[in-house]
Amino acid sequence: MADADLRVVESVERCKAILDAVGLEALARLRSTIEAGELARFADLGRPRPAGWIDADHLTAMEVSTATGLGAHEVSSRLDLATARTPGAAALRGRLQRGAVTLYRACTIQAAIAALPSECGPRIVDSALRPKDGAPPSPSLFRQRLTRACLAADREAAERRRAARRRRGAYAQIDHEGLGVLTVVNDADKIIAAMERADAVARAARAQGDPRDLDSLRADVITDILMFGWPEPVGADVSPSGSTAAGEGVCRSASEWFTRMGRRPAATVTLVIPFTTAVGLTDAPCEVPGHGWVTAEHARRIMLNDGSTWRRLAVDADSGAAAHLETHAYRPTPAMRAHVEAVDGTCLAPGCTVPAARCDLDHDIPWPHGPTEVTNLTSKHRPHHNLHTNGHWLVRRDGDRVRWRTKAGRVYDTYPKDWLDGVRDTSLAPPSRDQSTGRRATDLEPPPF
């Protein structure tokens, strides 16, 4: 019985791989169709491509990402596997068609071999996927084999490492439990040195009697240094290896520094929740725009930190949309930008959640044909702004609705952010929008695009 169930699991995995191969073929055809349409449109324009023009690969990735909810990076990796004309990519697609490799592993290998000489591909594929003891390689063995095979074949490692450094950056995300994740991508030696120094300070504080565990201490060291600066040493400093030049000096410094740095950071808080939650009468969750949701208790603690300031955002009690303000300025002013950002909340492209504050202010009806006023301006993330500006996707504004038509002919309706979504009393909520069209249930059928 157990063997029969195991065979079912194995069969399902093989079928998934075969279906993924079918999906890759469709993805390649979709890209070809989009590219042909773009080339025809480019020929009709009779002029050089403008800045911001988006190529067929990116258009295809954005099309599929919008339709399926898959991340653009994941779609791009599948597209690369589907369209690469190299022996390695062909070998991977063949294995998928036979159900002999998962889509994840196939995309991982393709990403690793893309920058290598094409003739190395099949050998690396065979090396990474070679069975061990009659079974597929484990995840760790797969990674080890792939890394080893790529290093052996890589004749341009130095150049690729220089290119990889362009991926450096820092990113933050908070979760619903009031915690956050700070991701820093930088040179390996810098990351190692930073972690070793944070560990040295954490261990010094621990030795001085701090009751927190080392993981918590290291996390507090890193965030407090970023907020308040490096601790002033008392008679010694901490070397990258954790050693000190004057024993007790660094312990005393670390202990005093943690005591001094124990205060909470000040914050600027946009109230996007019912006032009753802010004052403690209700406990609806609160949104930190651009990052996520926190509990009511955590939000109130942030709001009451020393030095925090409050900024009130008035919203419509029924629709949850930011209240409309009037302005008579001809060109976008800071006041107009602030108003549009408050109304939109995020990029108004379908499926995009980039905060409006990090978006461009775009004319829905292009200027000078369309006026520069808040009723003709919406927040669009730069890639989506370029989609509109260069005519890749068509945009039409109708009241608070923005209708998008993609290269594949899909139509999506987007609306300003509902700032009360998730905290509104559902028993008093207005008619909901149709999930497939974005229209409210009471809306009339809109005219054709």
Rounded Cα–Cα distance for residues 230 and 224 (Å)? 8
DSSP string, 299-364: HHHHHTSTT-EEEE--B-TTT-PBPP-----SS--HHHHHHHHHHH-B--STT---BGGGSEEEES
86-104 tens-digit pLDDT: 999 999 999 999 999 999 9
Q: Look over the chain and give the mean of its residue pLDDT values, rounded to a whole number.
A: 76
Kindly give the pairing relationship between strand 286-288 and strand 169-174. Answer: unpaired
- Specify the higher pLDDT residue, 304 or 137: 137
**Secondary structure class of 327 (helix, strand, coil):** coil
- Specify the higher pLDDT residue, 293 or 363: 363
- Specify the higher pLDDT residue, 276 or 29: 29
Q: What pLDDT shows up at residue 441?
A: 36
The stretch 246-270 carries a mean pLDDT of 50
**Secondary structure class of 353 (helix, strand, coil):** coil
On the question of pLDDT at 148 being above 50, the answer is yes
Range with top average pLDDT, 20-24, 353-357, 365-369? 20-24
The stretch 6-33 carries a mean pLDDT of 94
Q: What pLDDT shows up at residue 91?
A: 95
On the question of pLDDT at 47 being above 80, the answer is no
Closest CA to 315 of 270, 283, 348: 270
On the question of pLDDT at 254 being above 70, the answer is no
Q: What pLDDT shows up at residue 317?
A: 56
- Specify the higher pLDDT residue, 7 or 313: 7
Task: Record the tokens describing residue 20, joined without a space.
Answer: 């993924």
Given a contact cutoff of 8 angstroms between Cβ atoms, the answer to whether 199 and 187 are in contact is no
Q: What pLDDT shows up at residue 66?
A: 92
| Complete edge-to-edge strand list for the sheet that includes strand 394-398 | 394-398, 401-405, 411-414
Q: What pLDDT shows up at residue 231?
A: 57
Range with top average pLDDT, 176-185, 190-199, 232-241, 390-399? 390-399
- Specify the higher pLDDT residue, 10 or 297: 10
